[in-house]
Amino acid sequence: MANKLWEKNVSMTDEIERFTVGRDRELDMYLAESDVLGSLAHTTMLESIGLLTADELTALHREMRNILRDIRAGRFEIEDGVEDVHSEVELLLTRRLGDVGKKIHSGRSRNDQVLVDLKLWTRRQLREVVTLVTELFRELQRQSEAYHDVLMPGYTHLQVAMPSSFGLWFGAYAESLADDMLFLQAAYKLVNRNPLGSAAGYGSSFPLDRQLTTDLLGFDSMDYNVVYAQMGRGKMERNVAFALASVAGTISKLAFDACMFSSQNFGFVRLPAECTTGSSIMPHKKNPDVFELTRAKCNKLQALPTQVTLIMNNLPVGYFRDMQILKEVFLPAFDELKDCLRMTTYIIHRIEVNRNILDDTRYDLMFSVEEVNRLAAQGMPFRDAYRKVGLDIEAGHFEPVKEIHHTHPGSIGNLCNDRIADLFQSVLDGFDFGKAELAERKLSEG
C-alpha cells in the first residue's frame, strides 16, 4: 500500500522526497490531535449524508479515539516512509479496519484537512497564550499596587526627566497587555471559522453538510466561500503572528527595562538570584540572562509577521507548496512565547524594588518641573517660572521638594488600576473558549 495519499504508479526519488517532505513529519506532530478531531467531525458528517454506514462510523470513531489516546499519551509517531500526519492516521485506520479506513477522505482534500488542523491547533494555543498573559497582567497589577508610592526617575532620551513610580512602571506594562489582548481576541475570532468542506479550494460534488462540521468542532461560523477558505492559508498565520508579536513587543521592552534597572549604574531593582548567571572570570557578576534571552526571543517573534508575509507574498489564488514552509516558522513560535510569558511572570513575582532610589542627589533635578508647576499655581506665568527654575539650576541654587501631588487619572497618585483591570476583563470576557472546549471534549469522548 502507498504511504502517500496522492501516490499512484510513479514513485519519487529519495532525494526529491527528502526535499519535498521537508520537516513535515516532525512538525505535523504538533497537529496530530487536531487531525483526529477534524476527522471525527468529518466522518460524522459523511455518515449523515450516506457516505458511511452507522456501523462503519462506529468502528472508525472507536479506532480514532484509540489513536487520540495514543497521541495524548505520547505513544503516537509518524512512521518512516509516511509523508504526514494525515497519511499516518489513515494508514493506521486502514490497517485496523481494512477498506473502511480508506473512506475517511471522501469530500476532503489535504488542503482543507491541514487548514482545519491548523485552526483547531492555533485556537487551542491562543487559549493558552491568553491564560498566560492574564497571569502576567495580574502579577503586574499586584506589584503596581504594592509599590504605588515608591518613586523612581522617569526618563526621556535616557536622561533623567521627571518623577515616576514603580506603581506607574508596573502598571504601564499591565495596560500594554490589555491592548495586546485586543489583538489576541481578533486573532482568535479570525481563526475560529471552519474551512472544512472547501476541499482543494473549489468545493466538492458531494452534498457536504458544512454547518454540521462547524457545529461539531465548535467554530463560530464557517469560511463560507470555498476559494476564500483556501486563501485563508497564510492569512490566518500572518494575523495570528501580529497578535503574538504585539505581546512579544511588550515583554521585550519590559525585559530591556529590567536588565537596565538591575545594573549597578541604576540599582532600581534586584532580580531573583536564580534568574541570573555568573562569569567564568569575574566573581562579582550576576548577569540577567533570563531577561536577555527573553528579550532576544521576543524580538525574534516580532519578525514572525514579516516571515509569514514574505513566504506568502505575491502568490495567486489557489494552493501552492510554499505554504508548507509556514509551519516551520509558525508552529514553534507559540512555545517560545509561552516560555517567555512564564519566565517573565516568575521574575516579576519575585523582583525586589529599591525603595530609596531618590536618596541619591543625582536625581534631584527631576523635581524641577514640580517646582515650575508650583510657581505657576501661585500665579507666576508658566514661561517665567520655567526661566526662574532654569536659572536657579544653572547657578546651583535649586533645592528640590520631593513631595509630589499628582491626582489626575493615570498619574502617580491615581493609577487607575481598577479601570485598567476592567478594560482587560472586558476583552477577556469577549473570548468564548467554553464553546470550543466543550465541542472538542464531546468529539474526544463520544
What pLDDT was estimated at residue 17?
Answer: 66
Residues 143 and 65: their CA atoms lie apart, in Å, by 45
Q: What phi and psi, each to the nearest 5 degrees, are found at residue 192? A: -80, 50
What pLDDT was estimated at residue 242?
Answer: 98
Phi-psi region of 415 (alpha: psi -120 to 50; beta: other; left: phi over 0): alpha
- Thinking of the domain 14-103, which architecture would CATH place it in? Orthogonal Bundle (1.10)
Residues 339 and 186: their CA atoms lie apart, in Å, by 22
| Helix (H) or strand (E) segment spanning residue 353 | strand 352-353
Where helices occur in 49-84 by DSSP H, the ranges are 54-72
What pLDDT was estimated at residue 3?
Answer: 53
Residues 349-372 as b/e (b if ≥16 CB within 10 A, e otherwise) read eebebbeebbeeeebebbbbebbb
Residues 123 and 73: their CA atoms lie apart, in Å, by 21
Half-sphere exposure of 348 (CA within 13 A, CB side): 29
Please list the ranges in the chain whose pLDDT falls under 50: 1-2, 6
What pLDDT was estimated at residue 140?
Answer: 98
What pLDDT was estimated at residue 306?
Answer: 97
What pLDDT was estimated at residue 23?
Answer: 74
What pLDDT was estimated at residue 8?
Answer: 54
Residues 195 and 167: their CA atoms lie apart, in Å, by 46
Is-contact 146 351, C-beta < 8 A? no
What pLDDT was estimated at residue 1?
Answer: 39
The three grid cell numbers given for residue 280, joined into one nine-digit string: 567564568
Global pTM reads: 0.92
What pLDDT was estimated at residue 20?
Answer: 65
CATH of domain 110-358+417-430: 1.20.200.10
3-state percent breakdown (helix, strand, coil) of the chain, nearest 5: 65, 5, 30
Residue-range domain boundaries for the chain: 14-103, 110-358+417-430, 361-395
